[in-house]
Amino acid sequence: MLFAIMFAIWRFMEIVTLIPIMGMLAWFVNIHMEGNIMTPTYILLLFIVSVLALAWSVFTLFSYHRSSTHARFVSLIDLAFVGALIAGVYYLRFIARADCASIQPGSSVDVDLGFVGSARISTVDVSVNKSCGMLKGCFALAIMNCVFFFITAVMAWVHGGHVVKTETRYVETRRRSHSHGSRHGSRHGSRHRSRSGHRHSGSRRSSHSHHRAYV
């Protein structure tokens, strides 16, 4: 039960952070398709990985009973997504050094402070490059998902080892109980045969003595 709760929490965090990645990168892919331009590798790779990882996360979240049974397999798939996300982050690494926002001094505004006097306040104009900001957000969320998928992979692997040990103990217990029951049954059968043999031999002796008495 504890595994299901913790697994569901981390899967939910993966889904919440993968949806923005898929949405923002889908916007870039759509722009390139409309312009009949080939989508760059750093966008296309992370987009494909995010779509597959989101589908896998949703599937394993709503079927965690089956996921707990095949926990080792789930762990291996999660580790594969960790590697794929690391590759996507590597191709998008140039965006980490990009400056997506620029700050420029704006116009000055005179503010009347009443009997104190007046003051001149200079405004600041902040402009943010939309494309740069979206790519930087995808970069940060992809790094977070590398950590999230690694955590779920470790959890699934540990839980899978626990399940294997439990099944092994159950099989050994069944074997011991079966062997004990077979030995008990063989002893009971041998006792029954020995008793019937004694009775048969006693009846033969009594019939033989009775026959001798009449002769």
Question: Rounded mean pLDDT of 97-123?
Answer: 63
pLDDT of residue 7: 86
What the block records as the tokens of 9 is 């929490």
Nearest to 64 by CA among 17, 12, 142, 20: 12
Q: Please state, for a pLDDT cut of 90, what percent of the chain lies above it.
A: 43
Is the pLDDT at 160 greater than 90, yes or no?
no
Question: Rounded mean pLDDT of 181-186?
Answer: 52
> Would you place residue 33 in the very low, low, confident or very high pLDDT band (cuts 50, 70, 90)?
very high
| Average per-residue pLDDT for the chain | 76
pLDDT of residue 10: 94
Kind plus residue range of the DSSP H or E element containing 133: helix 130-214
Reported for 81-84, long-range contacts at CB under 8 A and 24+ positions apart, including other chains, are 81/49, 81/52, 81/53, 81/56, 81/145, 81/149, 82/146, 82/149, 82/150, 82/153, 84/49, 84/52, 84/53
CA angle 73, 85, 159 (to 5 degrees): 30
pLDDT of residue 13: 96
Residue 123 to residues 103, 109, 112, Cα–Cα distance (Å): 11, 7, 16
> Would you place residue 187 in the very low, low, confident or very high pLDDT band (cuts 50, 70, 90)?
low
Question: Rounded mean pLDDT of 29-39?
Answer: 92
Is the pLDDT at 174 greater than 50, yes or no?
yes
Question: Rounded mean pLDDT of 184-210?
Answer: 49
d(C-alpha 109, C-alpha 123), whole Å? 7
User: CA-based Rg of the chain, rounded to a whole angstrom?
Assistant: 38
